Copies of this chain bind each other. A is one copy, B any other.
Amino acid sequence: MSGARSRGRRPGGPDTRGQILASARRSFAEKGFGGTTIRAVAVDAGVDPALVHHYFGAKDDLFLAALEFPADPRALLPTVFEAGTDGAGERLLRLFVSVWDDPHARLAMVAVFRTGLQEAEDSLLRQGILRLVQRPLRAALPDAEADRRVQLVISQMVGLVVTRYVLVLEPLASMPADDLVAWVGPTLQRYLNGPLPDGR
């Protein structure tokens, strides 16, 4: 039968990895983050689910690989806080800019932002990227206000993504990284561990 070559469950061949990634990309795009399962991706790629786990680990890992993310926020964000919360605003922004300022590296992420505001409930942006950024930030802040602090940080970073990298608004888009860090770093620092506003 004509489908036998591509439909049977195959052991890991030279293009198996690429085929899994193509299936994963299709699934994330069509079904969102919540609607994608390792099992369904495996079926679509014609391989055993164990092989997907073997190559890519858990769903979060498959997501980062399928969207060709240049950096894993779960690994990088904790390094920002290794030396403590003081100065973390500037270090966080420097990391953010170093990833996003690379035009090639940001391609896939810009695509997620361009389409990610359309879906109401289960976008790759909310369930994928923002969750993977929010969790390690939250873990670094013991404060009772940590959830709010983290989302304020994310609000400023998302705003920079949209204005500097997606809409490419000038003069913000071509502001040198050092200037951007000097202007916005103190904002993130205040959100991270500044004193609570009066009466909050």
> Which residues of A approach B to under 8 Å, CB–CB?
113-115, 117-118, 123, 125-126, 130, 147-148, 151-152, 154-160, 162-164, 166-167, 169, 171-172, 175, 179, 182-184, 186-187, 190-191, 197-200
Q: Is there contact, CB below 8 Å, between A152 and B167?
A: no
Q: Return 17 A-B CB contacts under 8 Å, by A number.
A: A113-B117, A114-B117, A117-B167, A123-B167, A125-B167, A126-B167, A126-B169, A147-B171, A148-B179, A151-B169, A152-B172, A154-B169, A156-B159, A179-B200, A182-B200, A183-B197, A186-B190
Per CB-CB distance, the 8 closest pairs between chain A and chain B, nearest first, are: A159-B159, A182-B197, A151-B172, A155-B159, A155-B163, A158-B159, A114-B117, A187-B187
Contact of A184 with B152 at beta-carbon distance under 8 Å, contacts A158-B162, A159-B157 already known: yes
CA distance A147 to B197 in the complex (A): 29
Determine how close the nearest CB of chain B comes to the CB of A167; give it in whole angstroms.
5
Q: Is there contact, CB below 8 Å, between A148 and B172?
A: yes
Contact of A162 with B159 at beta-carbon distance under 8 Å, contacts A169-B130, A179-B200, A197-B179 already known: yes
Say which residue of B117, B152, B179 sits within 8 Å of A117 (CB atoms).
B117
Determine how close the nearest CB of chain B comes to the CB of A36; give it in whole angstroms.
19
CA distance A68 to B134 in the complex (A): 34
Residue of chain B at shortest CB distance from A173: B151
Chain B residues closer than 8 Å to A154, beta-carbon distance: 159, 163, 169
Say which residue of B115, B117, B171 sits within 8 Å of A162 (CB atoms).
B117
Determine how close the nearest CB of chain B comes to the CB of A137; give it in whole angstroms.
13
CA distance A19 to B68 in the complex (A): 47
Q: Is there contact, CB below 8 Å, between B158 and A163?
A: yes
Chain B residues closer than 8 Å to A164, beta-carbon distance: 155
A-B contacts besides A123-B167, A182-B198, A183-B197, 9 pairs, CB < 8 Å: A114-B118, A130-B169, A148-B179, A151-B172, A152-B184, A155-B164, A155-B184, A158-B159, A159-B160
